[in-house]
Chain A
């Protein structure tokens, strides 16, 4: 579903935001991208939904080579990918309904379909009672739910989420994670960038890719990778 081969991304200077990253996520995978701040997690997600272009390497999303994708093809690729942004990117002065419906509006769906679909999604994220509320009046957790609802409204095959639980308390974080698991259970590939390791442990069977200074330092099944990393950290502390 998502394949990255020796991907590099540089922003002008010598320093690479991503350095020789090779990573894959299959259909139905739940992939965590983790690492400290500035490791390149956001850049990696941006490459996948064509907000940025790789400096070098090959990226394939649903069989489409992004390096060869024309500008006119980008919107159609983005319709296959739902994105939950770190800063939500919601229209604060618009209602919950309008924000979620936007994804369907841009595909030219008829009004009746949009109404039905948005209500269905709002039920899924538990916001059906708040469809007429302005987004700026909602709590952080609720805004995150709206962002998730918008990301999944058009039935994407991939959902990308950038630090979706960054500013939320533990209880809400678990609820949001559960939402992503539900989306994943319905067959959607989920790629979730987070620096919160506890989150990774709560999703059995998930994959993980660990980035450090733009390099992929470990990748594989989350439980194994995390166990190896922990052992490594313990042994290095022992040496010290």
Chain B
């Protein structure tokens, strides 16, 4: 396409926007708000998911061993469990090591152990799991299996809340997709309505253009560009709004969550590019929906 023609279409699209400034403002705001909500959802989802992924490596199960078990028997047990595919790492913690750890970790309570004649802490095997086996079902099943081994007195895993968090993330993903989908459809509808109104306000001119030999493409192009500009503008506003929101969270809220840290570490360039891409797509789809209806023979 000739540059001159492209400039002409762009000029016409800007004229359309300028003709209905209030309508354009409402459209831009609607797109921006929809995308902002969608962006927030994605951001929270991505953060929690990333956090979970990182925490996956820390999934730990402790198998406390019976008092009667010797260190040789414990070693046999350790190498046996180490071969299980779910197990990423396994460490044997002897009674003495357990006591030393207790003393160093809980210095202020160390006194309570002094009166004891013998070490009350059991030896244990500490297992870390492969991240892909971090689901609650896997952990439960593994714990039962561990508990059945002879020499194992008790099995503990202290991250039950993680399983709940995973369920929460899955629910959030579902809600996000549903709400996001609805918002996107609403955005397409808003853009299509704006184009429709502009089309109506210029229908006399468009009719004359058609009578004097304008092709459908020539009539459509400025409206497509108008939708595109709305989509892009809304996306830029949303990206700006989201960045400001993240900055605000950083500076004004004392978030103990990983969330805040993660938000800062998210690739902003990718986020903006994603927003712009989505904005373009929404703009084109929105205008095409209305133009298809209006340019039917």
Contacts and interface: CB of A to CB of B under 8 A. Distances in A.
Given A71-B297, A108-B5, A108-B218, A89 B213 contact: no
A91 B205 contact: yes
B204 A75 contact: no
B201 to A, nearest CB: 11
A91 B205 CA distance: 7
A66 to B, nearest CB: 15
Nearest to A77: B213
A102 B4 contact: no
Q: Interface range on chain A: under 10, 10 to 19, 20 to 34, or 35 or more? A: 20 to 34
Contacts of B204: 91
B214 to A, nearest CB: 4
A79 B213 contact: yes
Contact of A78 (B207, B212, B216, B218): B212
A15 interface: no
A89 B5 contact: no
B213 A75 contact: yes
A111 B212 contact: no
A106 B5 contact: no
Contacts of A49: 211
Given A91-B208, A102-B208, A110 B213 contact: no
B211 A83 contact: yes
Contacts of A85: 211
Contact of B215 (A75, A89, A150): A75
Interface in A101-117: 102-103, 105-108, 110-111
B4 A106 contact: no
Nearest to B1: A108
B4 A78 contact: no
Contacts of A102: 205, 208-209, 212
Interface of B: 2, 4-5, 8, 204-205, 207-216, 218, 297
13 contacts: A72-B216, A75-B215, A75-B218, A78-B212, A79-B213, A91-B204, A102-B208, A102-B212, A103-B212, A105-B8, A106-B214, A106-B215, A108-B2
Given A110-B4, A150-B212, A154-B212, 8 more contacts: A78-B213, A89-B208, A89-B211, A91-B205, A94-B205, A103-B213, A107-B213, A154-B213
